[in-house]
């Protein structure tokens, strides 16, 4: 198996979108993805890219990806957020996920960052156990808070 972990290119975005959709299905939200290849190309490869993607290519086919972007912590300064790390179902257990994870952590170290953070679903015990073994801290007592498009609209319209 010839494996390469590399920076994604614009022409990789159709495969990246396939992986995003596969992750959504794995996370029991198969209809939640509304982003498009065009959006990924524009936002990731424009004049001011909003994210960076690493891909795992096996025998010439993209089988996994990790999408990251910078955040700013008032306590730590610039940090890295790992939005998604996904390996195609048939390639899970081959070490591709570990290679992508390592690439993300190495990238953060190369950038001189003080923290990498991400979210993991509480039922994904396999991932949680992996993260703990890698030395990551699972923060208990913190909740991920989101407001969807309807919530944004409702809040803006009613909070005047």
Q: Is the pLDDT of residue 96 over 80?
A: yes
Q: 128: domain range?
A: 3-158
d(C-alpha 65, C-alpha 8), whole Å: 9
Q: How much is the average pLDDT of 134-156?
A: 93
Q: How much is the average pLDDT of 40-54?
A: 97
Q: Select which of 70, 101, 107, 131 is catalytic.
A: 131
d(C-alpha 35, C-alpha 31), whole Å: 11
Q: Is the pLDDT of residue 70 over 80?
A: yes
β partners of residue 70: 80
Residue 131 annotated as catalytic: yes
Q: Is the pLDDT of residue 159 over 90?
A: no
Q: How much is the average pLDDT of 1-10?
A: 94
Residue 85 CB neighbours (<10 A):
23
d(C-alpha 105, C-alpha 113), whole Å: 10
- The model's pTM is 0.92
| Residue 160: pLDDT band with limits 50, 70, 90 | confident
Q: Which residue has the tokens 């990551």?
A: 136
Which strands, in side-by-side order, build the sheet including 3-7?
Answer: 3-7, 52-58, 61-73, 77-87, 116-117
The CATH number for 43's domain is 3.40.630.30
Q: How much is the average pLDDT of 52-65?
A: 97
Please tell me the predicted confidence (pLDDT) of residue 56.
98
Q: What's the mean pLDDT when you consider all of the chain?
A: 95
| 64 Ramachandran zone, left/alpha/beta (phi>0; psi -120 to 50) | beta
| Residue 152: pLDDT band with limits 50, 70, 90 | very high
Phi first, then psi: what are they for 49, rounded to 5°?
-60, 140
Give the total number of structural domains in the chain.
1
Please tell me the predicted confidence (pLDDT) of residue 128.
94
């Amino acid at each position: 198996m010839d494996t390469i972990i590399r920076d994604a290119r614009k022409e990789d975005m159709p495969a990246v979108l396939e992986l995003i959709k596969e992750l959504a299905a794995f996370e029991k939200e198969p209809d939640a993805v509304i982003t498009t290849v065009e959006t990924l190309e524009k936002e990731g490869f424009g004049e001011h890219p909003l994210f960076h993607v690493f891909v795992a290519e096996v025998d010439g086919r993209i089988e996994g990806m990790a999408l990251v972007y910078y955040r700013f912590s008032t306590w730590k300064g610039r940090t890295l957020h790992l939005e998604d790390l996904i390996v195609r179902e048939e390639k899970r257990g081959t070490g591709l996920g570990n290679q992508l994870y390592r690439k993300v952590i190495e990238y953060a170290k190369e950038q001189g960052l003080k923290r990498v953070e991400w979210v993991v679903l509480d039922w994904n015990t396999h991932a949680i156990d992996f993260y703990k073994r890698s030395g990551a801290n699972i923060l208990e007592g913190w909740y991920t808070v989101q407001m969807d498009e309807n919530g944004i609209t409702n809040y803006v319209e009613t909070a005047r």
